[in-house]
Structures are given as C-alpha cells and as structure tokens.
Amino acid sequence: MSVEGYESRIIDGKALARQIEDEVKSELEALESGRGITPGLATILVGDDPASRMYVRIKHRACERVGIRAEDHILPAETSQEELISLIDSLNKNRDVHAILLQLPLPKHLSPQEAMEAIAPEKDADGFHPYNMGKLMIGDEGLVPCTPHGIIRALEEYNVPVKGKNVVVVGHSNVVGKPMAAMFLNRNATISVCHVFTDDLKRYTLGADILVVAAGVKHLIKADMIKEEAVIFDVGITQEKDGVYGDVDFENVIKKASLITPVPGGVGPVTVAMLMKHVLKCAEKNF
C-alpha cells in the first residue's frame, strides 16, 4: 500500500488549488482597488444533509481565504419549489451577489433542473444553466462546471497535450462526465464516454492517453485496465469507515500511469479553487 518511488507521478491538487487561489486573490485585490467591487457568492443549501453541509462549509472557507464575501442561505428540508425560486429571484436581483451556488442534491420533492434554470446565467458559478452548458457545447466556453474546468487547468499546468489524444471519460453525469467530454472535444481530443451501460469498459480504458473517472464506484479502475504512461484523473469519492476511496486503485495504477490524482487531495481542492475563479469572473463581468 505504499507509493514510495512514484511520488513524482502524483498530481498535487492541494498545491495547484493554492496556486489558483493566489491568482484569484491578486485579481480580486485589483478589482477591489480599481473598481471598488468585492465579489460576492451566495450559497443555497436546502435541508441538512451532512455531506452537503460539509461541501458548503469548504466553499465558504475558500471564499474567506481569497477575500470573497460569502452569504450562507440555509432553507429547511420542507422548502417548496416556489420558496426556493423566490430566493433565487431575489439573489438574481441583488447587485452585491455576483454568483449563486445551489448545493446539490436537493430534497426529492424539488426540481433541481428548474431551480438551476432560475439562476441568472451570468451568476451561474457552477456552469449548470442550460445556456452555459450550450455555450460550452458549441465551443464558446464561458462559465463551465468547476470539476472539468479544474481538470483542464491541471493538464495545462502539467504540460499534458490534449489535441489529438485519446481521452476516455467514465461517467456521463451532467456535473462531470458530459461537460468534461465537451471540453476535451473543444480542444480537439478524440473522446469516448463510458458509463454503467458500457459493455466492455476495459476495451475503452486501455486505449486512453488521458482517463477521467467519475463513476462513484470504489476502485473501479485497476492497473490492468490502463495504458502505460496514461494520465489519470480520479473524480470519485466513496466514504467508508476506514477512509475515503477513489474510483481508481491508486496504489497499483500509479506504477503504470505517468500522472495521477490522489483521493483525497486531487481533483477536489482544484474544483473548489476553480469555483473561486468563477465567482471572480462573474464579479468582473457583471458591473
């Protein structure tokens, strides 16, 4: 269970996140001193799911670190769709709120899609609004989802070429898999998207120069499923009593990969840092 000797292959998500946060900090200071604007993020949490609470807390802490003003809106689990939309409407109109983040998942009786669409596209820090998704799809990237954006940033940081490469994305969620594939396609990679209905996952993953796994299945990807020298991003998080696990069998896969993100400390922190970048972008554009 040791990765001794392979440390140089680990993509250090925490270090990259710090670097991105430092960029945000200095741009933010320029925005404050130059135009007197302090970026503001409003988070909305419906209900008291402990994991969701934790994610919101992590985002608020990041806001504090970079100097973003953060509002914490917590609604009871029994909130109606109308009440949720009405809060979103008021935040859309609030000029001190430049970006809105609706923490998912919502309680079952609420429609996340309708709520997401109610967020003004220019305040859509998560990039989940259909308008922003469509812009991404046609290659005019504005506000894009944070996790895929962070992965693209990491590839740039580690000088991994994308154009013409064979990229495989495992998982076809709206949050990660689909926007990730679109971003690679915009950069002229050849992409494949696999998921729970894929009949021969290994045939695909074996061909991947770059592999992004967002399936939420502990250790789905084993060493015999990847190509030598592959670059691997592990978006999965499975919480068990004895720790947190990714979708990739890290200890064995690292011996074959050229670069790989750990779980935790890989994609997670970078995602949060990209969110800060998006809030800043919303504030810069909105006035």
Strand-pairing partners, residue 45, are: 74
> Looking at beta carbons only, is 76 or 134 nearer to a copy of itself?
134
Q: Does residue 183 interact with a copy of itself by CB under 8 A? A: no
Q: How many whole angstroms from its chain centre is CA 223?
A: 25
The answer to whether the annotation marks 265 as part of a ligand binding site is: no
- Candidates 19, 38, 174, 258; binder of a copy of itself (CB under 8 A) is 174
Q: How far apart are the first and last CA of the chain?
A: 52
Mark whether 126 is an active-site residue. yes
> Looking at beta carbons only, is 177 or 268 nearer to a copy of itself?
177
The answer to whether the annotation marks 237 as part of a ligand binding site is: yes
Mark whether 108 is an active-site residue. no
Choose the catalytic residue: 12, 124, 126, 234: 126
Q: Does residue 192 interact with a copy of itself by CB under 8 A? A: yes
Count the residues in the chain. Answer: 287
What single-letter DSSP state applies at residue 141? -
- Candidates 93, 95, 163, 241; binder of a copy of itself (CB under 8 A) is 163
What single-letter amino acid sits at 261?
T
- Cβ–Cβ under 8 Å, residues 3 and 10: yes
Q: What mask, x for binding a copy of itself by CB under 8 A, covers residues 116 to 135?
A: ------------xxxxxxxx
Residue among 8, 285, 9, 20 at smallest CA distance from 151 = 20
- Candidates 104, 137, 206, 237; binder of a copy of itself (CB under 8 A) is 137
Choose the catalytic residue: 12, 59, 209, 227: 59
Task: Report CA Rg, the chain.
Answer: 19
> Looking at beta carbons only, is 140 or 240 nearer to a copy of itself?
140
Mark whether 103 is an active-site residue. yes
Strands 238-240 and 243-245: antiparallel
- Cβ–Cβ under 8 Å, residues 253 and 219: no
Q: What mask, x for binding a copy of itself by CB under 8 A, covers residues 206 to 235?
A: -x----------------------------
Residue among 186, 185, 233, 180 at smallest CA distance from 205 = 233
Residue with tokens 């935790």: 264
Known binding site for NADP(+): residues? 171-173, 237
Binding site for a copy of itself (CB under 8 A): 113, 128-140, 163-164, 166, 172, 174, 178-179, 181-182, 185, 188-195, 197-199, 203-204, 207
